[in-house]
Amino acid sequence: MTESWFTSLSSQPLELFRSISTQPFPDLHCGALRVFTAIANQPWAQKLMLDTPGFVEYIVDRSVEPDKASKDAKYELVKALANSKTIAEIFGNQYYLRLRAYLREGPYYVKAVSTTAVEGAE
């Protein structure tokens, strides 16, 4: 039922919602992420996500979320995917481990960048 509804929205519904999710307006952006979260536990949706070029990379890219609501919405999507019983089989070990790492690090994780100050250096 969900699959037939989703596929009737557009010829490429995942791309439609992905383009909405890149909008700078939080209501649109978070709304599109919530649509992805709603279908994330469905094997057909997971296959569609995997088959869409760049989609999995977009999911685990923390640099595209500008505010707390967006970070929370994306974290919920990652959590829904990572907790799905079929995700490891469909996404494969590499992407599954990236999702688990994202989940473990939490929604607000920022990679630490270390710098060393050298006396006399300019």
pLDDT in tens, 33-87: 999 999 999 999 999 999 999 999 999 998 888 899 999 999 999 999 999 999 9
pLDDT the model gives residue 121: 58
Q: Are 103 and 78 in contact (CB under 8 A)?
A: yes
pLDDT the model gives residue 90: 94
Average pLDDT of span 97-122:
83
Burial 87-110 (b: 16+ CB within 10 A, else e): beebbeeebbebbbebeeeebeee
> Judging by beta carbons within 10 Å of its beta carbon (0-12, 13-18, 19+), is residue 73 exposed, middle or buried?
buried
- Average pLDDT of the chain? 89
pLDDT the model gives residue 48: 93
Average pLDDT of span 93-115:
88
Q: Is 90 exceeded by the pLDDT of residue 116?
A: no
Q: Is 90 exceeded by the pLDDT of residue 91?
A: yes
pLDDT the model gives residue 104: 94
CA distance 39 to 62: 21
pLDDT the model gives residue 122: 62
Residue spans of the domains in the chain: they are 2-105
